Amino acid sequence: MNKKENSQKAHHVYSDISLHVHTRDEHNISRKQISDNALKVLYRLNGAGYDAYLVGGGVRDLLLGEQPKDFDIATNATPEQIKKLFRNCRLIGRRFRLAHIMFGRDIIEVATFRGHHQEQEKNVSQQSKEGMLLRDNVYGSIDEDAERRDFTINAMYYNIGDYSIHDYAGGVEDLNDRLIRLIGDPDVRYREDPVRMLRAIRFAAKLDFDIEEDTAAPIEDLAPLLRDIPSARLYEEALKLLQSGYGLETYHLMREYNLFQQLFPLIAPHFTEDYSSQTEQVLDLVLDATDERIEEGKRVNPAFMFAAMLWYPMMESAKELMSRGLSEYDAMMEASNIILDEQVKSTAIPRRHTATIREIWQLQLRLPRRSGKRAYRLMELNKFRAGFDFLEMRGEIEGGEVALLAKWWGTFQSAGRNMRQAMVNDIGGSSSRSGSRRRRTPKAKNAKSAE
């Protein structure tokens, strides 16, 4: 395919691009809403003769009246030129080079305008045979950069030169209509980067927007393309999806579009039409609790979420191993290894988290053993609180002895010293009596065999 044909192909894919400039008096963004560090970067780039724009989610959120989490900048300066302007600059990335301007813990990300990989003769871009972009160090104009962005509401540029907004794909209109619309041919864009399907869901849940019909149509069929994405990248995406304060709604949308099943294939067999399985119940509980903690400004631990999500698939595996003769403890240990080894192939949960997941699971076996000093020792464990919180969650789902055990531990933690000792003595008395009966049995057997 020659350069002219490539250009025609690019025009077909991005045919919905058309620039509309909104002057300062036509929008609500004020420099007072932009971080001082982002303004420093914008002004220095502009002062050095480069184009400098606030771009993407920052512009989108400001137009929505929200405070952006990040302020990203796009420019026609190359990463090397940016680095010469800022002593506090670090260049990162292999797939696409980015400049990080460091202001203590605050990082302003600056990207050079991206161009079309089809139109570049330099060997700086690479695609897989399925159409997925593998390397993308292709620089271009602001028009090309806008065409390469994923959604219309992310293709708006705030120009520090005259404070106007350059809207390349009708993003302002879609923002007003509360629509998530992909730029270009959805089939082609999803094949270029299947993670765009996850981003469509994430923005829809976060912003409470609808996904535009053509943008939504191919997702269910193309969802399996996510299996070709590196598991480390999918782990990061899973955290953005499920631990950003909209996890429960995001999960339900992902499941509707066959996306959750790709990231968590071990959980998918537990899905039912009426959402009644124990796995589905614990998903609702843990994601709702996570959303609530984030809303309250509390810390969330990915390990707890994954421990809850994978518990019932793990227990199903453990029961199968027990049917082959393994003890409960050995079966759980082996099943833990099997489930986690399989899950990290899809989402690469870091080892520090898989270790915590195992501790939370093991505590489910240890928490019923409360006699003597065991209860006090268990409470001193670093992961006791996580183990107890999960026990409470299980009790809400399973009821019966699990619910009673969770209630016992809840009372024990808040009780005074004398009441705690009485509770332990009561458990200890029962265990001692049953234990003495168990100890007499072997002696009787030995005596009988000696005769």
The reply to whether 17-117+130-177 and 296-427 are identical in fold is no
Q: Among 8-12, 147-151, 262-266, which is the least confidently predicted range?
A: 8-12
Query: Which of 136, 175, 137 minimizes the C-alpha distance to 155?
Result: 175
Active-site residue, from 16, 70, 187, 210: 70
**278 has pLDDT over 80:** yes
Calculated CA dihedral for residues 145, 146, 149, 151, nearest 10 degrees: 180
Task: Say if CB 344 and CB 294 are below 8 A apart.
Answer: no
Residues 6+ positions from 261 with CB-CB distance below 8 Å: 223, 255, 267, 268, 271
In terms of DSSP H, where are the helices of 158-266? 171-177, 186-192, 195-207, 213-216, 219-222, 231-242, 247-256, 260-263
Residue 145 annotated as catalytic: no
Between CA 243 and CA 237 the distance in angstroms is: 10
For the chain, give percent helix, strand, coil, nearest 5: 60, 10, 30
Q: Tell me the domain boundaries of the chain.
A: 17-117+130-177, 296-427
- Cα gap 439→377, rounded to integer Å: 25
Domain 296-427 grouped into CATH 1.10.3090.10 = yes
Cβ of 267: how many Cβ atoms within 10 Å?
A: 21
Is there a catalytic annotation at residue 106? no
The residue-averaged pLDDT of 106-135 equals 64
**Annotation marks residue 136 as catalytic:** no
Let me know: does 241 contact 199? Beta carbons within 8 Å: no
Q: Tell me, what's the pLDDT at 4?
A: 43
Residue 443 has pLDDT above 50, yes or no: no
Catalytic one among 72, 167, 174, 291?
72
What confidence tier does 117 reach under pLDDT thresholds 50, 70, 90?
low
CA 423-304-240 angle, to 5 degrees, is: 155
d(CA 197, CA 262): 12
Is the CA virtual torsion 361, 198, 205, 27 positive or negative?
Answer: positive
Q: Output 115 or 59, whichever has higher pLDDT.
A: 59
The pLDDT of residue 446 is above 90? no
CA–CA separation, 34 vs 375, rounded Å? 53
Nearest Cα to Cα of residue 218 among 245, 194, 239, 250: 194
**Residue tagged active-site, from 61, 136, 145, 150:** 150
pLDDT of res. 139: 86
- What pLDDT score does 435 carry? 43
pLDDT for res 129: 54
CATH superfamily of 17-117+130-177: Beta Polymerase, domain 2 (3.30.460.10)
pLDDT value at position 93? 83
CA 169 to chain centre: 28
pLDDT digits (tens, 9 = 90+) for 229-271: 999 999 999 999 999 999 999 999 999 999 999 999 999 999 9
Asked if residues 130 and 225 have their Cβ atoms less than 8 Å apart, the reply is: yes
